[in-house]
A and B are shown apart, each in its own frame.
Chain A
Amino acid sequence: MMQPRLTRAEQEAVDYGIDLNLLLLNLELTVQQRIEQHQRALDMVNELKKNFDRLHGIPPESSQNSD
């Protein structure tokens, strides 16, 4: 099957390793759904981080970061 030709922006994103399909799936969601999906992802990241810290004896506060 013929793949649609990528725009320059799309090609740059793909070349950098961005999952274009994942990005386009996000665009199909409503704002509310994107925020809820992000919260689920963040909960999972924080849970994994907490488990990692616990296993390696890292105090909870020292592993926090933000944008």
Chain B
Amino acid sequence: MESLLNLLKILTESDIDFVIIGGFAAMIYGSSQVTQDIDLCIAMNPENIEKFRKTLGPYHPVHRMTPQKLSFLKHPEELKGIKNLYVKTDLGVLDILGELPGVGSYSEIASRAIDTEFLGHKVKLVSIDDLIKSKKIVGRPKDHATVLELNVIRERLKK
């Protein structure tokens, strides 16, 4: 059964370093918007992609953008030079980005990220400033609503 909560659980139990970004990060900050997926920023290298394959393996991951829904476990064979991965699993959709366009690379995002906790595991959450910047760049109406909420949340965090 699809459950982003369970998807996050298996990710936090893995040994993969990632930063939660996107709408799911906004929700963790307190946004009331409902999101259908988890977006992560990672150091996009063959070793990390293999870790994702191992972690997601039991949940039948496929490349959701390919018409044939190619298996993430088999494709691509060459793991160098990949920028983003858009994966659908039995637990839900997971978008994995190597950078946040207009905001920074994984190392920059991770250096400004904050630590939070989920089920006893430490997880990295994109900084609220980076999140607001990325949402402004994407610029869809729902992103604008999220930015307005995050502006209020940022004010409250500063108090």
> Which A residues contact B (CB, under 8 angstroms)?
7, 9-10, 12-13, 16-20, 22-24, 26-27, 29, 31-32, 34-36, 38-39, 41-42, 45-46, 64-67
Please state if B155 and A7 are interface contacts (CB–CB under 8 Å).
Answer: yes
Q: Nearest B residue to A36 by beta-carbon distance? A: B5
User: Contact at A42–B149, with CB atoms within 8 Å?
Assistant: no
Bound form: Cα–Cα A56–B3 in Å:
25
Given the interface pairs A13-B151, A35-B8, the reply to whether A66 lies near B34 with Cβ below 8 Å is: no
Residues of B within 8 A of A (CB): 2-5, 8, 22-23, 27-28, 30-32, 34-37, 39, 64, 93, 95, 116-119, 144-145, 148-149, 151-156
Closest Cβ of chain B to A42, distance in Å, is: 6
Question: Which of B2, B30, B36, B152 is close to A9, meaning CB atoms less than 8 Å apart?
Answer: B152
Distance of A29 Cα from B30 Cα, bound (Å): 8
Residue of A nearest to B93 (CB): A66
Within the complex, which residue of B27, B144, B152 is in contact with A10, where a contact is CB–CB below 8 Å? B152
**Measured between alpha carbons, how far is A64 from B69 in the docked complex, in Å?**
14
Main secondary structure of the interface of A (DSSP, over half): helix
Q: In the complex, A45 Cα to B149 Cα: how many Å?
A: 21
Is A45 a contact partner of B34 (Cβ separation < 8 A)? yes
Known: A7-B155, A38-B4, A42-B4. A26 touches B28 (CB 8 A): no
Contact A31 B152 (CB under 8 A): no
